[in-house]
Structure 1
Amino acid sequence: MLAKGQTVIQYMEQLAPKHIAEEWDKVGLQLGSLQKEISGILVALDVNEEIVEEAISLGCNLIIAHHAIIFRPLQGILTDTPAGRLYEKLIKHDIAVYISHTNLDVAEGGMNEWMAEALGIENSAPIKDIHSEQLSKLVVFVPKDHHQKVLDAILNAGAGSIGNYSHCSFNIEGYGTFLPGEDTEPYIGEPGKMQRAEEVRIETIVPQGIRNKVVQAMLKAHPYEEVAYDLYQMDLKGRSLGLGRVGKLKEATTLGAFVETVKQGLKVDRVRVVGELDRPIRKAAVLGGSGAKYYNSAIFRGADVLVTGDIDYHTAQDALLAGITLIDPGHNAEKIMKEKVAEWMTGKLTEGRYKTAVHASQVNTEPFRFM
């Protein structure tokens, strides 16, 4: 059985929820339709004509990419322009394009955690917090004989996490009253007769990103035709998500030796380096894409080096004066996401017993050539 497009994207948004993307970012479905079975998925960093040809050859009708194909409002689609030809080819071959960008960057288990792991950074934390997850209080009333079943469904769906504690809830026994209408089929009692039932009030905390998942799990496990439940927005904030990652290295090293770790871990042949190669490095920061402007945040977090792309001349000078070294592996170092997302999505589809194939793009979209 092939997975539906909406099912694939529900899985993707478990990894990188859209609501944690930066406000300016363009994420989500950018072209095509998800109202179809997905024959194959191609995971790519960028989308160009070579990537589309790769998708066609592999029989993929969905591309999950990191960088948007439409970032600014279109004034028109002219098929004799490079962008227009790209859109035309995607449409003709019924290939949808879904973008996961800054939401994948900041997600737990996402881009910057993968980069940190590749560099041997341990117990990493964000360089700069940018998003605190909104929490809701879920309250539901359950007949006593279904209390444990419904509670397990809610908590196993991810509700009830507070800091390092999981499966947190509060449960109160009491009595519920209701009058079933004539056309109802009540789980307890009879139509037209007032009922008084032993019930349990369950209270727990639900993060915004999994609210729909938790509610659906609750409704599926609940025996009532009409489920009485409430969701209250809370002032209390959940986990903080942020840009980049910073942490101690497994072993102290020098900038020169760490350069080799970066080249090997991020699979790049060349890097640009700012700083003396014999400088000791104990704590490192990494930020995928263009993150040089956050060097002060990395310094504040105690980093000796910041690994990020697209470093400009003046920022390099300022960072050096501020006392931090820099390594620029290029923006394309984010290609680490191709294998990681493909692996993650394959696992989710396998769990769901879907036969939709997932491929990591083999096309090199690095625009620079080093001579």
Structure 2
Amino acid sequence: MAKERTIRIHDLLGALNGLYPPALAEDWDNVGLQVGDPGSEVHRVLICLDVNEAAVQRAVAADAQALIAHHPLLFKPLKRVSPGDEPGRSVFAAIRAEVAVLCAHTNLDRACPGLNDWLADRLGLNGTQPLLGGREGELLKLVVFIPDGHQDAVAEALFAAGAGRIGAYDCCSFRVSGEGSFRAGPDCTPFIGRPGERERTPEWRLEVAVPAELSGRVINRLIKAHPYEDVAYDLFPLQNRREDIGLGRIGRLSAEISLETFARQVKDALALDHLRLVGDPRQPVEKVAVCGGSGAFLIHEAARRGADVLVTGDIKYHEARSAEQLGLGLLDAGHFGTEQPAVDDLRAALSAIAEQRQWPVEFVSMSGEKEPFQVI
């Protein structure tokens, strides 16, 4: 019988980062492993929205060796770590209990599929795409020079690694033939020619687009697939903004309904006790923008994209007034209300990875997390 593989925190982190690359996170964010030993074994993982001392205690009670949260435990730079206040109290609790703490925050928000896709699905949106697309530099151009006869094999290796995607198209490349020249040093083992002699040989210039977070993997595949011992390639950052990742989502309902009717559907879909509405309850709604958490910064972008309503949380007074002036409806379903349902979706995504890799790890959603606000 084959020995069951031991899974460690660094394996868990690799799976989390593979689904939601840290490179997608906002510059101000703090994601990944925050507390814990990467070499520790893990058999059960508790997934939650917020990490606090109670969450650590729940992890211990569930015999979980790790917590994965959406909101970072360690967010701002620490000047001290004390059990007398937060986040020090939770850090101490996690270390004492030997419970690792990992986080996927804005990388989970911006990834596709990610938190905002799950929110859009819950609200019945179709044909969704990012509301605010990628940033400059998140898409790279790889240019590599390949000896004649090997260009197809190298291209296939790059495509398999995730290169060559443009919008809804994949396996995209540009190729042009030319002539390369080189002279191998005395200690080289050249694929073409001999050391010390100048060579001129037919080569192909191959260009492909590469998502920045996949660049390491793509280059590794390139080196393995390319016949030259020293591969000549260039990697350029592009100003093109990616359309496959970004903050928020925008899509359409299957049929036009009133803002009030849609608000009631949102309330039911997210199991809310209440929500706040800005706009005429009778106004028609078909095109909908969503952003889990705090998405008021997307009000103008949602209006520019022709949305009838934006569903998000943490709306302030003057932000609501701005939406009124723009003719954009708002549904404030709360920070907690728009993000907490993603706990189950994250559990499902990680469970699928564990099953695919045959990991003896169980992922469990933490029950009982509650909205901090009460309405009286």
1:359 corresponds to which of 364, 369, 375: 364
Q: Is the 8 A contact 1:51 1:363 kept in 2?
A: no
1:1-371 to 2 correspondence within 5 Å? 1-129=5-133, 131-141=135-145, 147-171=151-175, 172=177, 179=184, 201-222=205-226, 226-239=230-243, 241-333=245-337, 334-371=339-376
Q: Which shifted more, 101-110 or 361-370?
A: 361-370
3-state DSSP class of the match of 1:210?
helix
Q: CA deviation at 1:319?
A: 3.0
Please provide the CA RMSD for this pair.
Answer: 3.1
Q: Is the 8 A contact 1:174 1:201 kept in 2?
A: no
Q: Is the 8 A contact 1:17 1:103 kept in 2?
A: yes
1:267 and 1:313 mapped to 2: Cα distance? 25
Cα distance change, pair 134–311 in 1 and its aligned pair in 2 (3 A): closer
Once the two structures are superposed, what CA deviation does each residue of 1:35-78 show, in whole Å capped at 9, x if it has no partner?
Answer: 44433332221111222122223333332211111222222111
Indicate the percent of aligned positions where both proteins have the same amino acid. 37
3-state DSSP class of the match of 2:277?
strand
Once the two structures are superposed, what CA deviation does each residue of 1:263-309 show, in whole Å capped at 9, x if it has no partner?
Answer: 23223232222334333222222121122343333222222222111
Q: Is the 8 A contact 1:111 1:337 kept in 2?
A: yes
Q: Is the 8 A contact 2:133 2:242 kept in 1?
A: no
Q: CA deviation at 1:2?
A: 3.6
2:182 and 2:297 mapped to 1: Cα distance? 60
Q: CA deviation at 1:234?
A: 4.0
Amino acid at match of 2:349: W
Q: CA deviation at 1:367?
A: 1.3
Amino acid at match of 2:140: S
1:199 and 1:325 mapped to 2: Cα distance? 57
Cα distance change, pair 322–355 in 1 and its aligned pair in 2 (3 A): same
Cα distance change, pair 320–78 in 1 and its aligned pair in 2 (3 A): same
Q: Is the 8 A contact 1:271 1:328 kept in 2?
A: yes
Q: Is the 8 A contact 1:133 1:238 kept in 2?
A: no
2:362 and 2:250 mapped to 1: Cα distance? 34
1:324 and 1:235 mapped to 2: Cα distance? 30
Amino acid at match of 1:254: S
Give the TM-score of the pair, scaled to structure 2: 0.84
Q: Is the 8 A contact 1:133 1:240 kept in 2?
A: no
3-state DSSP class of the match of 1:165?
coil
Cα distance change, pair 193–313 in 1 and its aligned pair in 2 (3 A): closer
2:213 and 2:185 mapped to 1: Cα distance? 34
Q: Is the 8 A contact 2:134 2:242 kept in 1?
A: no
Amino acid at match of 2:125: I
Q: Which shifted more, 252-261 or 127-136?
A: 127-136
Q: CA deviation at 1:107?
A: 2.1
1:237 and 1:245 mapped to 2: Cα distance? 16
2:166 and 2:293 mapped to 1: Cα distance? 31
Cα distance change, pair 320–191 in 1 and its aligned pair in 2 (3 A): closer
Cα distance change, pair 37–232 in 1 and its aligned pair in 2 (3 A): farther
1:104 and 1:189 mapped to 2: Cα distance? 49
Give the TM-score of the pair, scaled to structure 1: 0.85
Amino acid at match of 1:116: A
Amino acid at match of 1:162: I
Q: Is the 8 A contact 1:274 1:316 kept in 2?
A: yes
Amino acid at match of 1:356: V
Q: CA deviation at 1:86?
A: 1.1
Q: CA deviation at 1:262?
A: 0.6
